[in-house]
Amino acid sequence: MATEVLNDKTNCDTKETIRRTFYKNRIKKDNIKLELDEKSHQEERRKLLLEYQKKHRDEAFNAARGIFQELYFSELENMDVEEYPSESKYPQKYKKMNRMMLSEWMLDVPQDFSESWIMVPCPIGNRTRIVSRYGTTKAYSRKGVLCDTFPSALPGGNPDADMHQSAIVDCIWVKSQQVYYILDILYWSRLPFTNCEAEFRLYWINSKIRETTEFKERDTDINKYPILSLQNIDCNSDLSSALTHLDFEPNCIDGFLFYHRNAQYNFGCTPLVTWLKSFMLSEVLGIFVPSSLDEKPNDYINFEHYMENINAKKNDYKKRIVKNFMEIEYVA
């Protein structure tokens, strides 16, 4: 009898979770979120996502053309840190518009790693989104808080720029250097890039940064902080050799992002962009890593143990969120 009651309670909890997930959310045909299961193998999710992107590429691109700027910038106008000092007070629409593409840990080496992936070394810093428009540039944190307003050489980013142009780029802000390093691009001039493949997006932004000398300038009327590109290393090359010729000092590197060449810019976590700390490269990829990049934390045992600790912390956090939510509902 007790077992039956427990099973009934479990079924009710499951149904309630499903109801909350889709309440007021329209379930669309070919909804990729319904097919992607976080518990399934990472490689399976990659293949499914790539197939979905290929199938809906033209449809998604046509939807983005001409309306991306209107949809995105209309939500950002008049938003600032003074209006929304705490995360809980952010408007829901504002949080959605500031979502970023986030990486997953590389739980397994992709089958097409050498042919289809690009490695990007990332300095230690804060993930930031830069938005330029109407003669000014604004930097927003990962949570959508306005961090700074300044002139930049980005399209529409300074008083001398074309006011009809604009840009949205994801960056890493390195405070010690007072430099922005561009990770990815969403919008440039009058063109949306979210439905372009990663290889093209990275090539485009690196070309623009190299050909515009103003991006290297500091404390000018056109560009206050240097805005620089990051190395793109083809995984089909000699990675061990590439690691000895990085643009950053080893102690300045936080880790490495791996982009699938065909990955479009998707909001939220995606298996088409993965992440490894520098001291994990030799173990996961089986390559030689210079000793300066291979210094492991004192409590590090191996990659599997490291991920178990991360998952344990995530589960503990989720339990506390659920507990707080239930307490609030009980009081209400």
* CB-based contact 141:128 (threshold 8 Å): yes
Helical H segments across the chain, by residue range: 2-22, 32-35, 42-55, 57-64, 68-76, 92-97, 113-116, 198-211, 239-242, 281-285, 303-331
Q: Are 213 and 327 within one domain?
A: no
Shared domain for 291 and 312, answered yes or no, is no
* pLDDT given for residue 201 in this prediction: 97
192 and 314 together in one domain: no
Domain presence at residue 119:
yes
Instruction: Name the domain count of the chain.
Output: 2
| 324 and 186 in a common domain | no
Is 317 among the domain residues?
Answer: yes
Distance CA 266, CA 314 (A): 22
* Alpha carbon distance 255, 275 (integer Å): 7
Amino acid sitting at position 161: A
265 inside domain? yes
Kindly report, residue by residue over 171-214, the tens digit of the pLDDT. 999 999 999 999 999 999 988 999 899 999 999 999 999 999 99
b/e map 139-151, b = 16+ CB within 10 Å: bbbeebbbeeebb
Distances (CA, A) of 297 to 246, 279, 285, 286: 22, 9, 19, 19
128 within 8 A of 171, measured Cβ to Cβ: yes
User: Is 35 inside a domain boundary?
Assistant: no
Task: Please report the pLDDT score of residue 37 as a whole number.
Answer: 59
Res 305: pLDDT: 93
Share of the chain above pLDDT 90, in %: 60
Is 230 within the bounds of a domain? yes
Q: Are 146 and 79 in contact (CB under 8 A)?
A: yes
> How many CA atoms are closer than 13 Å to the CA of 10, on its beta-carbon side?
6
The per-residue pLDDT for range 256-269, each reduced to its tens digit, is: 999 999 999 988 99
- How is residue 193 written in tokens? 């890039």
Question: How far apart (Å, rounded) are the C-alpha atoms in residues 261 and 45?
Answer: 16
> pLDDT tens digit string along 104-127?
999 999 999 999 999 999 999 999
Domain-located, residue 1: no
- Supply the pLDDT for residue 183: 96
Q: Indicate if 209 and 279 belong to the same structural domain.
A: yes
Whether residue 229 is found in the same domain as residue 130: yes
Query: Does residue 222 share a domain with residue 139?
Result: yes
pLDDT at 108: 92
Run of H or E residues at 255: strand 253-260
Please provide the distance, in angstroms rounded to a whole number, between the alpha carbons at the two ends of the chain: 32
**How far apart are the C-alpha atoms of 234 and 238, rounded to whole Å?**
9
Domain of residue 237 covers 40-296
User: Is residue 13 a part of any domain in this protein?
Assistant: no
Q: Is the same domain home to 183 and 113?
A: yes
**In a domain? residue 3:** no
Amino acid at site 79: M
Give the chain's residues under pLDDT 70.
1-39, 57-98, 317-332
CB-based contact 230:120 (threshold 8 Å): yes
